[in-house]
Amino acid sequence: MQIKHFFYLWLSFALLASCKTETKNNTLQFNVDPVLLGDQFSIDSLQFGFSVPAGWEKMSDSVMTRVNQKISVDSSADKLDMHLLAFYLDSLSSSFCSVSGVRFDASTVGVKDLYRESLQKKYPGSGIKEGDFVINDVTVHQFLIMTDQKVVFKLLLNVQGDSFLQIDYAIDRVIYPKYVNKIESSIGSITSTI
């Protein structure tokens, strides 16, 4: 079991280590396969966009409302103001990608510290790795969480002052190796539309 855990951890880092090119200023160039990309999500006012993995369907407004209610309760305990903007589901695997707007009180503590604290509570005993990089002129702070069941990527993008966007990918560990290229292509499609 330990070897299997190590393999999945190595495979996750391969997504961000060997499947891209890194320059001196931590700019990453991902291998983006347009065939593996689906709907484009964009926020013109924030000059931001990216494409979700192909075949992942956007959830209805009623599902979004229910999820937002749960997020509101969960995030208030962590001193974060979160609002779900989009939720995409792969019905074959129950993997998902979500986009949330996040605001926090910068006078208390940094957003990375708040997230780290929150993730340590939510995923006790799980391996949590983090790092900073730039994709297509967008600065990203990534948290990678490995649980027994899931591989979770949380990407924080500072878009304006104390406002952030959060992109989450949650993939079942068993099928994660089959989804690596889709996730890499989706992350690599993140762009500033300036």
Q: Give the contacts of 5 (CB within 8 A, at least 6 positions apart).
A: 146
Residue 78's pLDDT is what?
55
Provide the domain limits for residue 34.
2-192
Which pLDDT score, from 0 to 100, does residue 115 have?
76
Starting from the edge strand earliest in sequence, which strands make up the sheet with 20-22, in order? 20-22, 27-30, 127-135, 138-146, 150-160, 163-172, 95-104, 80-90, 57-58
Query: What CATH code is carried by the domain that includes residue 164?
Result: 3.40.1000.10
Averages of pLDDT over each 10 residues, the chain, 194 residues:
44 43 59 90 84 93 82 59 87 90 68 77 80 85 89 85 84 92 92 71
**Residue 117, Cβ neighbours under 10 Å: how many?**
13
pLDDT at residue 4, rounded to an integer: 47
The domain tally of the chain equals 1
